[in-house]
Amino acid sequence: ENHISSLQLGLVVAPVIFLFITYFLVPSYSLWMGCAACIISLAAIAYSLLILMWILDKKEGPYAMREVSEPILEGSEGFFLAQYGTIVKLTFMSSLALFALYMLRSDDNTSNPASLSKLFSKYFLAFTVALSFIIGAVCSAISGYAGMWVSVRANVRVAAAALKCYNDAMQICLRGGAFAAIVNVGLAVFGVSSLFLTLFVIVQLRAEPVDVEHIPFLMVGFGFGASFVAMFAQLGGGIYTKAADVGADLIGKVEVGFPEDDPRNPAVIADLVGDNVGDCAGQAADLFESISAEIISAMILGGVLAKEAGFDETTKVGFILFPLSVHCLDLFVSTIGVMSVSTRSGLPDFDPDYGEIEDPLEVLK
């Protein structure tokens, strides 16, 4: 506990020091804001790993609990590998198709000198969109895997903690979800900000630098890649869990007479596997896609509005990177909120003066 507390303090102080140093070392305000978003998001992801270490340090409970949880864990990881193996192949083929479409695209039909076809070559546009598509897909897959990975390990620890202390069970449960959420938002912010920084440096090194408001248009492939993985993750996991749920009811309850969610019914285990790969992994990938698309679209809108208003380059950057600043603040504030949630320790079974168990929704409020 003391070791983790020291690391937590270090992760709070280190980003502040890095931001202070880079403010004087980085020559461009645009670069500094992008670096700040990268540093904060990486610090948040590192902090989520400390939360994960805290969760994994808790006991898994008696053998009867592990006997049920281990097949769910094994099935979830097996299904995830099979499903995402297929998604990887489809992602690679789709990136090649995107590259080909941009290469075959005609640029003779536009008279706008500020259009992307006039500012960049076909090769650059095709490569940038295809690469950003792959990066978005990879980040979305990592986000989904993080949601599934922590859920199958936190669940049994929540059940074990609930036997002894309501507060421990509440905190493990909430922080398990917080790990997946922080990784989700942190990856979105880091992926978008690092891609923006890379493109900003590339276009500024050109013989004729491009205005900063054009850069977000080059990043649309990132959101498309995230959406691509999220769609297949939700469809595959959703169909699997629904089929298992129906099988558990028809065979286990109707024909054999097993009660609801009886672990002796293999279809129940399959249904719980589906909950992890469909709800936890699928929803995590879907949320990543939503956040990424929201950030990039807001960056595009901010750049266009700043240009139409006639603002200077520094002000334009502030408008473009404002969505990243908001989500960096989200990470900071939400993490503090998650870590501050607690209720009374113990259980009524062990303490006659404990009183009624507090409603979890009231605890979260």
Cβ-based neighbours of 151, under 8 Å, separated by 6 or more: 176, 180, 276, 280
Q: What percentage of the chain carries pLDDT values higher than 70?
A: 88
Q: Which stretch, 210-214, 264-268, 308-312, has highest mean pLDDT? A: 308-312
- At 104-154, the pLDDT tens digits run 877 655 544 456 666 778 888 889 999 999 999 999 999 999 988 999 899
Does 248 or 361 have the greater pLDDT score? Answer: 361
Q: What confidence category does residue 200 fall into, taking pLDDT thresholds of 50, 70 and 90? A: confident
Half-sphere exposure of 71 (CA within 13 A, CB side): 15
Which pLDDT does position 256 carry in this prediction?
73
- At 269-319, the pLDDT tens digits run 887 888 888 778 888 888 999 999 999 999 999 989 988 888 887 788 888
- At 349-358, the pLDDT tens digits run 777 777 788 8
CA distances from 208 to 31, 117, 236 (A): 19, 15, 47
Half-sphere exposure of 279 (CA within 13 A, CB side): 12
Cβ-based neighbours of 77, under 8 Å, separated by 6 or more: 148, 149, 152
pLDDT higher than 70, residue 61: yes
pLDDT higher than 70, residue 213: yes
pTM of the model as a whole: 0.86
Which pLDDT does position 113 carry in this prediction?
44
Half-sphere exposure of 197 (CA within 13 A, CB side): 19
Which own/partner pairs from 85-92 qualify as long-range (CB within 8 Å, at least 24 positions apart)?
86/232, 87/137, 87/141, 87/229, 87/232, 87/233, 88/141, 90/228, 90/232, 91/133, 91/134, 91/137, 91/225, 91/228, 91/229, 92/134
Which pLDDT does position 22 carry in this prediction?
64
- At 327-356, the pLDDT tens digits run 988 888 888 888 888 888 888 777 777 778
Calculate mean pLDDT across residues 87-94.
Answer: 92
Average pLDDT over all residues of the chain:
83
Calculate mean pLDDT across residues 206-216.
Answer: 78
Nearest Cα neighbor of 321 from 120, 115, 35 is 35
Instruction: Specify whether the CB–CB gap between 151 and 280 falls below 8 A.
Output: yes
Q: What confidence category does residue 10 fall into, taking pLDDT thresholds of 50, 70 and 90? A: low
